[in-house]
Amino acid sequence: MPTLNLFTNVPVDAVVASDILRDATKAVAKIIGKPESYVMILVNGGVPIEFAGTEEPAAYGELISIGGLGPSVNGKLSSTIAEILQTKLYIDSSRFYIKFYDVQLLRA
């Protein structure tokens, strides 16, 4: 199950959160190539964040997936999520960082 955790210091109301959840779910599913029914997105607004020495609007994300990640996919995901945050929360893409975790499935 691909899971995207987003944290931002920008307060996020329910309507904006819903828009981000919808857009990010569609983007992650499409780019990774998994059904939307497998994708989970969490949005945490109003989190104290200092990035590059300031508390200006910023965001941090962690995307965890069993497979489907790699350099080209990660780049596309990063720019797409940054665009969503720019559009919905006015966070400049230079103030967004995302960490990718490609989890290997352990088989017994």
Provide the H-helix boundaries in the chain: 14-32, 71-89
Determine, yes or no, domain membership for 26.
Answer: yes
Give the structural domain span for 16.
Answer: 10-103
* pLDDT confidence bin for 108, thresholds 50/70/90: low
Catalytic residue numbers, as ranges: 2
CATH of the domain at 75: 3.30.429.10
Determine, yes or no, domain membership for 2.
Answer: no
Model pTM score: 0.92
Q: How many CB atoms lie within 10 A of CB 44?
A: 14
Cα gap 81→61, rounded to integer Å: 9
Structure tokens at 39: 């994708």
From the list 84, 100, 95, the residue with the least C-alpha distance to 43 is 84
Number of domains the chain is built from: 1
pLDDT in tens, 63-98: 999 989 999 999 999 999 999 999 999 999 999 999
Determine, yes or no, domain membership for 108.
Answer: no
